[in-house]
Amino acid sequence: MLDIKIKTVPEASVRAEQSGDWWYDQKRQGRITVSVVGDTFCTESELAIAIHELVEAFLCRRDGVTEQEVVDFDTLYESERKQGRHHKDEEPGDDPRSPYRLQHAAAIHVERAVCLALDLMWKEHELALSATAGARPKRESLGPHLPGLAPGHPLGSSPEDQPCNH
């Protein structure tokens, strides 16, 4: 059974300086709650992030990656970032040590597809994310995380040629 709740929240409610967050509600038999930083100037961006988080949460649960493992690693990563060990544009989900690296990579595929479907330029998407927090990673490193796509596949390139009218 799927039980999914998606909502936008103030930035302070999202953990580990991410654009989105997810967790399981054990009291509700594993409901997946996805929260997304609101107040971007592009609601399409919020939807793209929400679907990223949803896919990541679903895959983590399916693959046995616990929410606690994810939170612990994100916390470690952000403490390392404060020590200057990670660039501001890097994301914990991309780190080779990340317990949810594969799930994050799959979610990136989907996020890019959502942007493409919503006529949202990738640069506009990045801008919407960075506009909600100066310190948040700009996610400019998304490009290389598309293994397995044939050359020329529309998801293998940024949908930057398409307008964002929102």
Q: Which residues would be at the binding site for Zn ion (CB under 5 A)?
A: 56, 93, 104, 107
Least Å distance between CB 160 and Zn ion?
Answer: 21
Name the residue nearer to Zn ion (CB basis): 27 or 62.
Answer: 62
Name the residue nearer to Zn ion (CB basis): 144 or 152.
Answer: 144
Name the residue nearer to Zn ion (CB basis): 65 or 107.
Answer: 107
Least Å distance between CB 52 and Zn ion?
Answer: 6
Least Å distance between CB 165 and Zn ion?
Answer: 27
> Minimal CA–CA distance to 112: which of 147, 154, 58?
154
Name the residue nearer to Zn ion (CB basis): 1 or 128.
Answer: 128
Find tokens 């609101």 and name the residue.
38
Least Å distance between CB 53 and Zn ion?
Answer: 7
Residue by residue, DSSP assigns the chain as ---EEEEEE-GGGSGGG-SEEEEEEGGGTSEEEEEEE---S-HHHHHHHHHHHHHHHHHHHHHT--HHHHHHHHHHHHHHHHTT-S-TT--GGGSTT-TTHHHHHHHHHHHHHHHHHTT--HHHHHHHHHHT-TTS---GGGTT--TTPPTT-GGGS--TTS----
Name the residue nearer to Zn ion (CB basis): 104 or 125.
Answer: 104
**Which residue minimizes CB distance to Zn ion?**
104
∠ Cα 68 74 79 (to 5°): 130
Least Å distance between CB 56 and Zn ion?
Answer: 5
